Structure 1
Amino acid sequence: MSDGFPDLPQAPPIEGGIRPPKPSYEQFTRQAVFYLPVVRRGELLGYLWAAESNVKAAGFIRSIAARAAGADATSVWGRRLDTFHDRGTPALDAIRGWVGAPEDPVGGAVPPGTRERRVPSLAALHELANPGTPVSSGPLIQDGLYPDGTPVDRSAGWGPLVSVRPPSYATRTATPVLSYPVTRGGTVLGYVWASVSEDAASYLRRARADRDGEIAAGLWEARLADAFGAGVPAADAVRRLRGTPEDPLAGGIAADAQEHQATGLDELDRLARE
C-alpha cells in the first residue's frame, strides 16, 4: 500500500528479526522551516515544524525545559503527524491543521489564530527551543539531495554513481578501542568505535542486523567524516555521538549508553558477530 509519497525502496524485513520503520515524514531538512508553538496550560512544550518546500519533511522539537511534559508530548505529536502522513498530506498543511484544535491533556495545543513563523534552518529552530544544546546534522541525504545539492534521483540529471569515501579517520587499528552500541527500537544495529590512542574510528555493523546494519553505516560514517574535517580527535568524536537522537533508518546512541572498552578491534568484531 502506498504511503502517499513515492520514495526510495524500504529495506526488506529480516525474518524473525527487526522490521523497517513505519513510513513517516522525514525528520531532517536542510531547507528553511516554518514552525508553530505547542503549549499546555500556558507552558511551552515545543514546536511543530515543516520544511519550506519539501512536502515530506515535518516533525516536533520538544523543549527540554518542559522536562517530562515535553517528552510525553513528543509521542502525541509523532502519532498525529503519522496520521496526516498516511493520508498523503503535505508537511506544511499537516502542521497548520492543528492550529486551534482542542488542547490535549498530554500533547497540548497550538493556540487559535497562531500563524507559523520561519527560521532559516532546522538547527536555528533547535537553538530557539533549547539554546546551547548539541544538534544532530542528520543523514547524508536530506530533501532528496546530497549535501552538495546533487539529487538522489538520477532522472534529475545526476551522472554515473561513483562511491568515494570522504576524508576520515583510519578504519583499522591495533590499539585498544572504545565503542558505543547503535540501536533502533531497542535492537543493536552496530557499533561506533574509536582507538583510545590513535586517530582511527569507524562504524562496525552487527552481523545479525544484516541489511539494516549496513544501511545505518552511511550516516555514522558521514558523522565521523564531519568530525574528522573539524579536527576532532577520534575518541572525542565518538564520545560526542552519545545521546544522538534515533534516526528512522540509522538508529541512535542512547544518552545513557555505556562506553565499552576492548583490547582491540578483534574483540569488538567478535562482539558484533554474536
Structure 2
Amino acid sequence: MSSEQRPNPRLNEDLRFDAAPGGPPRYGSRSDKPVQYLTVADRSGEVIGYVWANDEDDAAGWLVRKAGGDEAFNKGGRWARKLHDAKARGLAPTAALAEMIAQSDPAAGSHVVPGSLTEAPNADAVRSLAATS
C-alpha cells in the first residue's frame, strides 16, 4: 500500500459561476445627469451623509459622509434600506426622496435636514461632497 494520499476528484473540478436572475430590485448606482439630493443629519445636527436620485436613469443612492466615521456609516444603513424598500414598491427615485422628506423625524437617530433638497450636476458631484465634507 502506498502512503501517498490521492486528492479527492471533486476538489479538482472546474467551478462555474453563473449569475442567477432575481434578487431584490435596486435603483441604478450611477447617473451622469442632474440629480436631486438630500442632506441627512444625526440627532445632534451633524451631517452623516446624502441621499441622491435621478428618475431618467432610475438611479439613486446613499453616500456616507467620510468625516462622519463609523457612526455615520452605521446610521446610514437606514437610508440605504429606505431606498431598497422604495424601489421594491415601485417608486420613482425622486418620489423616494419626497417620501423621505415627508416621513423624516428630527427626534429619530437620523433625519433629513429640513430644506436641504438640492440639485447637483450628477451623482459624482454628490460623491465628491460626501468625500470632502
TM-score, normalised to structure 2, is 0.74
Cα distance, 1:83 vs structure 2: 1.1
Once the two structures are TM-superposed, the CA of residue 21 in structure 1 deviates from its matched residue by: 4.2
The answer on 1:119 being equivalent to 2:120 is: yes
Question: Offset of 1:127 from its aligned partner?
Answer: 1.3
Matched, 1:67 2:77: no
- Structure 2 spans left out of the alignment, 5+ residues: 1-18
d(CA) in 2 for partners of 1:59, 1:92: 11
- Whose relative contact order is higher, 1 or 2, with alpha carbons under 8 Å and at least 6 apart? 2
In the alignment, is residue 12 of structure 1 matched against residue 20 of structure 2? yes
Whole-angstrom CA distance in 2 between matches of 1:116 and 1:53? 18
Query: For residue 58 of structure 1, what is the aligned residue in structure 2?
Result: 60
Is contact 1:35–1:117 with CA below 8 Å preserved after alignment?
Answer: yes
1:89-128 pair list within 5 angstroms: 89-100=91-102, 101-103=104-106, 104-105=108-109, 108-112=110-114, 114-128=115-129
Name the SS for the 1:65 alignment partner: helix
User: Is the alpha carbon distance of 1:123 and 1:129 closer, same or farther for their aligned partners in structure 2, counting shifts above 3 Å?
Assistant: same
* Higher mean C-alpha deviation, range 86-95 or range 119-128: 119-128
Question: In structure 2, what residue type is equivalent to 1:48?
Answer: V
Compare CA radii of gyration and give the structure with the larger one: 2
Identity across aligned pairs (percent)? 27
Give me the whole-angstrom Cα distance separating, in 2, the residues matched to 1:61 and 1:99.
17
Compute the RMSD of aligned alpha carbons: 2.0
Task: Indicate conservation of the 8 Å contact 2:49/2:63, yes or no.
Answer: yes
User: Counterpart of 1:205?
Assistant: none
Which residue in 2 is equivalent to 1:49?
A: 52
1:57 Cα deviation from its structure 2 partner: 0.6
Q: What is the letter of the counterpart of residue 50 of structure 1?
A: A
Contact 2:38–2:118 at 8 Å: present in 1 too? yes
Give the CA deviation at 1:75: 1.3
Aligned residue-pair number: 112
